[in-house]
């Protein structure tokens, strides 16, 4: 990360993945899960669902919804989070392409509703 000093304060610019910046393992996966949970949260709000209604619609129990909305998504796989979004009326597309690097990376791109 790039270090800079502004007004006598040293700081590092983020890489764009806070989980990687913190040195957490599986940072790419955590960022993907975090983005999916953010979209689930937006969908629940947009649809004006209670946690119980959202849970029934997504096929999970209400305590899981509560935990998810508080940032605890450790017990939910990326696949399950994508399934939750599908059940909330969202399409998901996965694009796979070769990279010029020895190891590829995961990236989540969220399209704005038109």
Q: Is residue 76 part of a domain?
A: yes
Backbone angles phi, psi at 28, to 5 degrees: -60, -45
Write out the two tokens for 103. Answer: 């190891």
Q: Is residue 99 part of a domain?
A: no
Provide the domain count of the chain.
Answer: 1
Write out the two tokens for 89. Answer: 């009326």
Half-sphere exposure of residue 21: CA atoms within 13 angstroms, side-chain side: 12
Q: Which domain holds residue 45?
A: 26-87
Q: Is residue 107 part of a domain?
A: no
Q: Is residue 36 part of a domain?
A: yes
Listed as ranges, residues in the chain with pLDDT below 50 are none
Q: Is residue 8 part of a domain?
A: no
The helix/strand/coil state of 43 is helix
- Residue-wise pLDDT for 31-63, tens only, equals 989 999 999 999 999 999 999 999 999 999 999
Q: Long-range CB contacts (< 8 A, 24+ apart) of 105-109?
A: 105/28, 106/28, 106/29, 106/31, 106/32, 107/28, 107/32, 108/31, 108/32, 108/35, 108/36
Write out the two tokens for 24. Answer: 């957490």
The pLDDT, as a whole number, for residue 17 is 84
CATH of the domain at 45: 1.10.260.40
Whether pTM exceeds 0.85 = no
């Amino acid at each position: 990360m790039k270090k800079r000093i502004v007004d006598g304060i040293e700081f590092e610019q983020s890489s764009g993945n806070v989980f990687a910046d913190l040195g957490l393992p599986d940072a790419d996966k955590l960022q993907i899960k975090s983005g999916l949970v953010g979209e689930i949260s937006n969908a629940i709000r947009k649809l004006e669902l209670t946690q119980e209604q959202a849970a029934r619609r997504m096929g999970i129990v209400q305590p899981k919804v509560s935990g998810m909305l508080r940032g605890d998504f450790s017990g939910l796989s990326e696949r399950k989070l994508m399934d939750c979004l599908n059940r909330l009326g969202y399409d998901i597309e996965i694009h796979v392409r070769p990279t010029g690097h020895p190891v590829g990376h995961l990236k989540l791109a969220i399209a704005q509703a038109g």
